[in-house]
Amino acid sequence: ILHLLFLLIITTTINSFSINSSSTMLTPRTSADISLEIKDPVDPTALTQSKAILSELRPNSSTNNDDSLSSSSCNPKALLSIAKRLGDIPAQDDSASYLVSKEQCQEAFDNLSQEEKQTLLNIHQRVKVFAEAQRKSVVDVSIEIPGGRAGHTVSPCRAAGCYAPGGRYPLPSSVLMTVVTARAAGCPYVVLASPRPAPITLAAAHVAGADIVLCVGGAQAIGCMAYGIEACDELGAAEVPACDVIVGPGNKWVTAAKSLVNGYCGIDMLAGPSEVLVIADHTADVEIVAADLIAQAEHDVVARAILVSTDVDVIVKVNAEVERQVDCLPEPNRSTAKEALTQSFSIVCKDMDECIAMSDKLAPEHLEIQTENSQEVADRCANYGGLFIGTHAAEVLGDYGAGPNHTLPTGGTGRYTGGLSVFNFLRIRTWMRIDNKKESQDMVEDSVRMARLEGLEGHARAAEARSLTLTPAYKKANNGSN
């Protein structure tokens, strides 16, 4: 009853504010309204369109229903035709290529101001240091087993494919986050794809060390990285190898295409709309909270900003501050953020335990803790993509290279997975060796017994063939027939 009374009071307070204010930017919701909404990140229409593009890229591929697993490479002329039709490359430019040379990337870097160059180099270094520390955290292992040894080896995949969005805003930070991480993992070959790359994107590709840059986007980019591109002397285009892993965020066609090639090659994740959740109490700086919510909202019209607080006054003040700050944004940022805020919301909770429970239920991509004893609160949170502890740990610092990767799980998937890291590019493969047949006999006998419990007689006989005391059943059967 007390809890229901509490909810009634806070709802009345927020609604009263809404009536007396021009608008409430964050829709008031209660904890009872909240449920984890696991939505399929793959748009059905985009999926159909992406299938058609992948088929067009490889006109000689198998025509069966599972041609996504066909081994044929992409046809360079088909790629050029698609790229021109979809606006990746100027349609009227007969000399246009889907490849960007290393010299062009170098030139883009050289043309930057000294401050811009240094920023790229600084971010590159911080991402590299963190990724290399991750790589060093997992090592080859070897242990004794009865009669021999077993272990695992850690090795990078051969070729990595990295996608960096173009679209509304160029994202050179995504180039650094993906390519640098692949390099730190030890991948010997890295392909980058980005549609209509801005000079700053090409400069980032130079700094990060991409081997090949494709100036195409959408499903066609994912297809090219998954299947590779044939060499074409007529176009003066070298072969592009198929990538073992493809990573990086993108639009709905990128996501759909990644879902189609997954299995033929590895992918990092199927990313949905970006999101931030801020847990704030009475100590929070409402200007900073509002700024962080807006920073997330300007990403995309489907982005989501969520405020969870124990203090109704904080939510009222943050709403007012969001309204003030968002109107100060330039276009198109202002319109994008305002549209995203229409699906954003706030929740007032009775205590910090409930705030944490709400956050864990939603498993946000970005989780900010702006409370008293923020580290203590952070330690109690279980589900999130990236965690930002304290007022000064802005999520935007994570976006721009504090070290940890900014490619993070969305839509509640932080319940079971994490963000992009060197581990996406590494293979941990196990091995075993038997050196002393006598010492391995307990394992042999256990294997024989377990195989027969599972009804796998062939397994049992293969184990018996290693036994020093048991006659394999296949020998008994042969002797009986003689």
Q: Which residues are catalytic?
A: 365-366
Task: Tell the burial category of 436 from Cβ atoms under 10 Å away from its Cβ (0-12, 13-18, 19+).
Answer: exposed
CA distance linking residue 54 with residue 67, whole number of Å = 9
Closest CA to 159 of 233, 229, 68: 229
Closest CA to 194 of 176, 182, 65: 176
Closest CA to 258 of 241, 272, 238, 240: 272
**Judging by DSSP bridges, how do beta strands 275-280 and 366-370 pair with one another?**
parallel
First to last CA, the chain: 85
The contacts of residue 377 (CB under 8 Å, 6+ apart) are: 279, 352, 355, 356, 369, 371
Please give the distance of CA 104 from its chain centroid, rounded to a whole number: 28
Question: Which two three-digit tokens encode residue 57?
Answer: 């890229």
* Alpha-helix residue ranges (DSSP H) falling in 21-101: 44-57, 76-85
Angle at 291 between CA 177 and CA 373, to 5 degrees: 85
* 65 three-class SS: coil
The dihedral region occupied by 167, where left means phi > 0, alpha psi between -120 and 50, and beta the remainder, is left
**Judging by DSSP bridges, how do beta strands 212-214 and 99-100 pair with one another?**
antiparallel
CA distance linking residue 333 with residue 295, whole number of Å = 9
Task: Tell the burial category of 20 from Cβ atoms under 10 Å away from its Cβ (0-12, 13-18, 19+).
Answer: exposed
